Structure 1
Amino acid sequence: MRIALLTEGGYPYAVGESGVWCERLVRGLGQHRFDLYAVGRPSVTGASLPLPPNARLVRAADSEGTSGNLLERAALGPARAARRAYGRRDRRRFTEAYERLATGLCAEEDTTGDTADGLAGAFAEGLYGLAELACERGGLPGALRSDDAVRALEAACRAPGARRGAAAAGLPDHLAFAEHLDGVLRPLSLDWYEEDALGAADLCHAAAGGTTALPGLLAARFFGTPLLVTEYGAQLRAHYLSGTGADRSAPLRTLLAALHGRLAAEVYRQAALLTPGNAHTRRWQERCGADRDRIRTVHPGMAADRFDGVGEDEESGDPATLVWVGRAEPAKDLVALLHAFAEVRTRQPDARLRIVTVPARDPGAELYLAQCRALAAQLFPDEAAGAHAVGENPVSFEELGGPEAPTLEDTYASGAVVVLSSVVEGFPAGLVEAMFCARATVSTDVGAVVEIIGGTGLVVPPRNPRALADACLALLRDPGRRYRLGAAARARALELFTVEQNLAAFRGIYLELLSRAPVRHRPGDGALFAHPAEAHVPGSWTPRAVTAGTGAPDA
């Protein structure tokens, strides 16, 4: 099977969770051929991961619109510049399509489903109209930032029934939105929609929704290629929570939220199957209008073997030590954790807390970490002068990879209880790692925490230091309960969250989607008997259910 894998700034270039998952998928499903399409990778040239024999980088597009393959990127130049300037007819086609798209974005929805469906349909018509124009004319050369586009957007914002926030938008907002829209819709102008590119794929698999899935959306439109969308965190949620647009005006934020909401809804509506990584992401997809019948939760796979040494020795670690591991950022709520530990320390004086941070490039992480250090010094004034080392100070701040915490395995093995204190989470991978290590956990009820824990750990409300302290003390004072919960956590993690179960799920999904898709003969495929004869017979060939114990099909 030929899979077009769509990634955003990820495999084979980026390091991180998305890149690791893509690499495991490609290497684990070696019987399939993977054509990699990297959307939005950085414009600077960076080292790429080595590709296995069953994968090749077909296209890549950076944030400036440069498109090409790994070896020819510099020679190809900008992505699909127009063959010639738009004439009157093409300008009219662009304006009509853009007006439909802008109407779908700016009009206010009421409580009736018909109106909502009509606006979503208007957005979709405008989007596909622009895509067809770009395909025929070689791209959208600055048209999305043209005066015609700005005037069409301004008219849609001021039309009767427009969103209240959009109606207040001024010219600076219209220009800023046009610039953002040009970046979001850049995949429309890429040279990916040819018979030897996405047109040759049996299946498009997008590693995220939104802009990443847009080329797959167009491949489904132009070629009928099934689209599979995997999300381990809802892109729309990430856009809403992003702090990068804090300086934007309220009308501009309204327009951008409408754009990303409409695009997400169209991707969910057209995808053959959605595979969220957890129930939290699944709920976001359903809120955006995704059909429940086309959603199937597939938990992300994580390498469990690296934690075998810790998981098989549940008695390791200091029985009075709490461990926290993660990125230092306000969403992790280390402030609440420190206040909770002050309560723990009052009631159990020998308790210790290790805060192990993952190295981050965000300059705000150091500032937040400095604030947390200052708070720890205030909460433990008599011991603040001591060295920050486990055994000498009740709270230690360390960095993963340092001498005190060289590896994750060593970090989790050092304590009896692993704590997660976040106020915002998607799928907390660190919690699964602690479960692989057979550690009892105390977590706040955010994101997919309850789904992951499943009764094998204690869960408390977020922003509640007293509840967090009580749960930690309950486990610190009961070694037998810690052991039972840790063993159950490891068994659950090995059943649900391994690389093997993730690969097995996608192996079956690929075959299922291909069996539904119509057979497409391509010139020069040349393989004798590549398509079985029964594939040409009309009607359903899905086997009927077999009655248990009789071996006969149901009547």
Structure 2
Amino acid sequence: MRVRIGLLTEGGYPYVSGDAGLWCDRLVRGLEQHQFEVYALSRTAAQEDGGWVALPPQVSRVRTAPLWTAQDDGVVHGRRARRRFAESYGELVAALCEGDPSDPTALSQAGPTAQADRFATAFYGLAELARDEGGLVGALRSEGAVRALERACRAPGALRPAREARVPDLLAVAAHLESALRPLSLDWYDDQGDEGGRGLGAVDVCHAASGGAAALPGLLARHFFDVPLLVTEYGVRLRTHYLSSGRGASPAGPGSAPSAVPAPALSAPAVRALLAAFHGRLAAEVYRQAACVTPGNAHARRWQERCGADRAKLRTVYPGMETSRFAHVGDSPDTADPHTLVWIGRVEPAKDLVSLLHAFAEIRKEEPRTRLRIIGAASGEEGRAYLGHCRMLAAQLFPDEADGPHAVGDNPVSFEEIGGPESATLAEAYAAGAVVVLSSVVEGFPVGLVEAMLCGRATVSTDVGAVVEVIGGTGLVVPPRNPRALAEACVALLHDPERRARLGAAARARALELFTVEQNVTAFHGIYLELVSQAPTRRFLFDDDGEPRPFAVPPEECLSGLRTGPGAPVTARPGPAWATGPQARDASPVAATEGAR
């Protein structure tokens, strides 16, 4: 059975610099029996300029639109449209000012809450208005939108932080809502039109590769055309919002579309409360409307349940890792230096290298010959500053020694990057250490830990995120921010080579069973078929007057997932200028492949 899948991404596939690009590419290439249409929201101009990865033949088209900018769509609303906007937008912001957005458990009560229903009604009201009028960019940026937000904040019963919102806070919230609701104005929501105009209404399944903005077009396809929505979250977007908003970062989280609001404005209590309410309501609606939600691990699953997801809709599907590049190390005898510890990852404060360095000081007291190799690059100003701090701390903890097992000027801690003389490849970096260490205080799905397991390495990890679920008893786990416990676990493995070998072999076997591309692709193939089998038939052909011909489609048409035969659909409504200009690309099967840069 050939299924037509609308793959929805935000800052990921098919862009070269996309966060989830690798996972999506493996999924698409592994399901060549199906047809994929990619609907991609880009995050930055640099990402657009970087181009796409090479696309396989099963990607029949790619449509893109920017989240990082939106020109005025030029749509002039009449009196009736302005009234519809005022009613829907007023209801939406009123729903944000009710309840306690800082408590996500309020969203997980049995049955939809009154606030959730109010939010959903207003949200789809705006979506229908945008579809009827051709866009909402100008309306969302208007003074009327700010005044509606101010009225909601001043209304009786509004949250205290909302009542205390000042004019700059109102402007910041309104600007963020305009940015977050830009997908409403896209011209993706058609089920008819010529070959270049068909949209999400013509696919069999919408698969959002993440929550947040990527799932929003799927919500509208579900609302307008009853297309089943599948949502995959390897990192829960709402959790990312809660973690980042307290630091004054973009509420969408690291790696998300840049906010139209300066970071200092986002740290105001009123702004944090209202944006937390918006993202919480949106996540709850996504979970409520999704036919299936696939968390990447139990840690993400618990967050989704806490934020409103129905347990009956949740199915854990582990990420698929490419095993071939680690096969040589995993299958070869262990030739690593028995006195070397290896840490590999992106250098940032969440990785807590400070605790690792203090733990290593304790390790050196027990095993003076031990070396620590920290392999990874810093990203961004914060990461580079943290790397500099760690270098200074290493120099203070381990001054150059004139005596002992190391020569003068040889610090037992080294800071390296992949591609250096001693670690040309990632697999070689893991192979260099007898023990691989993970010292994070915040972690989602620990990809580096799985890579170490595929290399057959014994591991010592902190108990954060999905670490315990991934390890499953094949490594040692200690509390985070506990250098002494981390040191004791590392020393225990350094002293026992037989135990290291047993744990490494068990870790490799577990990784090959649970975390391969094959298991990931097989799981989604089954989910696609199940969703299509449960979805109502939505295929129609139209006569010359645009009237549906309900009996013109043979039953076997539903098996192909494609429109065939006569009955050319009518032309689709053109979309807004900001989404169909140079920043929005629509690739045919040939252009999608030949135009990949």
**Structure 1 residues 373 and 389: alpha-carbon distance in aligned structure 2, compared to 1, 3 A threshold:** farther
**Structure 1 residues 57 and 287: alpha-carbon distance in aligned structure 2, compared to 1, 3 A threshold:** same
Q: Aligned with 1:381: secondary structure?
A: coil
Aligned residue type for 1:159: A
Alignment map for 1:188-227 (pairs within 5 Å): 188-195=184-191, 196-227=198-229
Superposed displacement of residue 436, structure 1: 0.2
**Structure 1 residues 157 and 310: alpha-carbon distance in aligned structure 2, compared to 1, 3 A threshold:** same
Q: Does 2:159 correspond to 1:155?
A: no
**Structure 1 residues 527 and 341: alpha-carbon distance in aligned structure 2, compared to 1, 3 A threshold:** farther
The match for 2:332 among 292, 300, 313 is 313
Superposed displacement of residue 249, structure 1: 1.1
Q: Aligned with 2:65: secondary structure?
A: strand
* Comparing 433-442 and 98-107, the one that deviates more: 98-107
- In structure 2, C-alpha distance between the alignment counterparts of 1:390 and 1:484, rounded to whole Å: 37
Contact 1:279 1:297 in 2 (8 A): yes
Q: Does 2:122 correspond to 1:126?
A: yes
Give 5+ residue unaligned stretches, structure 1: 67-77, 534-555
Contact 2:135 2:185 in 1 (8 A): yes
Structure 1 residue aligned with 2:493: 475
Q: Does 2:285 correspond to 1:266?
A: yes
Aligned residue type for 2:241: H
* Comparing 57-66 and 437-446, the one that deviates more: 57-66
Alignment map for 1:39-188 (pairs within 5 Å): 39-44=41-46, 45-64=49-68, 81-82=74-75, 85-109=76-100, 117-188=113-184
Contact 1:58 1:197 in 2 (8 A): no
**Structure 1 residues 141 and 415: alpha-carbon distance in aligned structure 2, compared to 1, 3 A threshold:** closer
Structure 1 residue aligned with 2:21: 19
* Comparing 457-466 and 307-316, the one that deviates more: 307-316
Structure 2 residue aligned with 1:545: none
Superposed displacement of residue 389, structure 1: 11
Structure 2 residue aligned with 1:537: none
Aligned residue type for 2:170: H
Superposed displacement of residue 80, structure 1: 5.8
Structure 2 residue aligned with 1:281: 300
Aligned residue type for 2:353: L
**Structure 1 residues 526 and 55: alpha-carbon distance in aligned structure 2, compared to 1, 3 A threshold:** farther
Give 5+ residue unaligned stretches, structure 2: 192-197, 251-262, 543-551, 561-597
Aligned residue type for 1:128: Y
Contact 2:347 2:379 in 1 (8 A): no
**Structure 1 residues 491 and 389: alpha-carbon distance in aligned structure 2, compared to 1, 3 A threshold:** farther
Superposed displacement of residue 115, structure 1: 11
Q: Aligned with 1:142: secondary structure?
A: helix
**Structure 1 residues 312 and 131: alpha-carbon distance in aligned structure 2, compared to 1, 3 A threshold:** same
Contact 1:419 1:442 in 2 (8 A): yes
Aligned residue type for 1:250: P
- In structure 1, C-alpha distance between the alignment counterparts of 2:92 and 2:531, rounded to whole Å: 30
- In structure 2, C-alpha distance between the alignment counterparts of 1:339 and 1:531, rounded to whole Å: 62
**Structure 1 residues 375 and 469: alpha-carbon distance in aligned structure 2, compared to 1, 3 A threshold:** same
Task: Provide, for residues 119-144 of structure 1, a one-character-per-residue CA deviation record: whole Å limited to 9, x for no partner.
Answer: 11111111000000000000114111
**Structure 1 residues 366 and 440: alpha-carbon distance in aligned structure 2, compared to 1, 3 A threshold:** same
**Structure 1 residues 389 and 106: alpha-carbon distance in aligned structure 2, compared to 1, 3 A threshold:** farther
The match for 2:511 among 466, 469, 493 is 493
Task: Provide, for residues 312-362 of structure 1, a one-character-per-residue CA deviation record: whole Å limited to 9, x for no partner.
Answer: 1242201111000001100000000000000000111111110001x3441
Identity over the aligned pairs, expressed in percent? Answer: 64
Aligned residue type for 1:317: A
* Comparing 487-496 and 252-261, the one that deviates more: 252-261
**Structure 1 residues 173 and 392: alpha-carbon distance in aligned structure 2, compared to 1, 3 A threshold:** same
* Comparing 223-232 and 302-311, the one that deviates more: 302-311
Aligned residue type for 2:355: A
Structure 2 residue aligned with 1:9: 11
**Structure 1 residues 431 and 495: alpha-carbon distance in aligned structure 2, compared to 1, 3 A threshold:** same
* Comparing 360-369 and 423-432, the one that deviates more: 360-369
Aligned residue type for 2:51: A
Task: Provide, for residues 378-397 of structure 1, a one-character-per-residue CA deviation record: whole Å limited to 9, x for no partner.
Answer: 111243999x9999431111
Superposed displacement of residue 62, structure 1: 1.0
- In structure 1, C-alpha distance between the alignment counterparts of 2:333 and 2:497, rounded to whole Å: 11
Alignment map for 1:455-534 (pairs within 5 Å): 455-523=473-541, 529-531=556-558
Aligned residue type for 1:274: V
Task: Provide, for residues 483-520 of structure 1, a one-character-per-residue CA deviation record: whole Å limited to 9, x for no partner.
Answer: 11000000000000000000000010000000000112
Q: Which structure is richer in relative contact order (CA contacts within 8 A, separation 6 or more)?
A: 2
Q: Aligned with 1:427: secondary structure?
A: coil
**Structure 1 residues 403 and 522: alpha-carbon distance in aligned structure 2, compared to 1, 3 A threshold:** farther
Contact 2:371 2:413 in 1 (8 A): yes
- In structure 2, C-alpha distance between the alignment counterparts of 1:30 and 1:114, rounded to whole Å: 40
- In structure 2, C-alpha distance between the alignment counterparts of 1:143 and 1:46, rounded to whole Å: 32
- In structure 1, C-alpha distance between the alignment counterparts of 2:375 and 2:433, rounded to whole Å: 12
Q: Aligned with 1:136: secondary structure?
A: helix
Size of the alignment, in residue pairs? 519
The match for 2:373 among 354, 358, 368 is 354
Superposed displacement of residue 56, structure 1: 3.4
Contact 2:11 2:18 in 1 (8 A): no
- In structure 1, C-alpha distance between the alignment counterparts of 2:302 and 2:523, rounded to whole Å: 20
Superposed displacement of residue 522, structure 1: 3.5
- In structure 2, C-alpha distance between the alignment counterparts of 1:287 and 1:391, rounded to whole Å: 52
Task: Provide, for residues 91-129 of structure 1, a one-character-per-residue CA deviation record: whole Å limited to 9, x for no partner.
Answer: 111111011111111112497959970011111111000
- In structure 1, C-alpha distance between the alignment counterparts of 2:512 and 2:437, rounded to whole Å: 20
Task: Provide, for residues 290-317 of structure 1, a one-character-per-residue CA deviation record: whole Å limited to 9, x for no partner.
Answer: 0000000000000111111111124220
Name the Cα RMSD after superposition.
Answer: 2.5
Aligned residue type for 1:236: L
Aligned residue type for 2:186: L
Q: TM-score, normalised by structure 1?
A: 0.89
- In structure 2, C-alpha distance between the alignment counterparts of 1:465 and 1:104, rounded to whole Å: 46
Task: Provide, for residues 522-545 of structure 1, a one-character-per-residue CA deviation record: whole Å limited to 9, x for no partner.
Answer: 438988832379xxxxxxxxxxxx
Aligned residue type for 1:350: R
The match for 1:398 among 401, 411, 416 is 416
- In structure 2, C-alpha distance between the alignment counterparts of 1:182 and 1:271, rounded to whole Å: 24
Superposed displacement of residue 145, structure 1: 2.1
Aligned residue type for 1:530: E
Superposed displacement of residue 241, structure 1: 2.0
Aligned residue type for 2:132: E
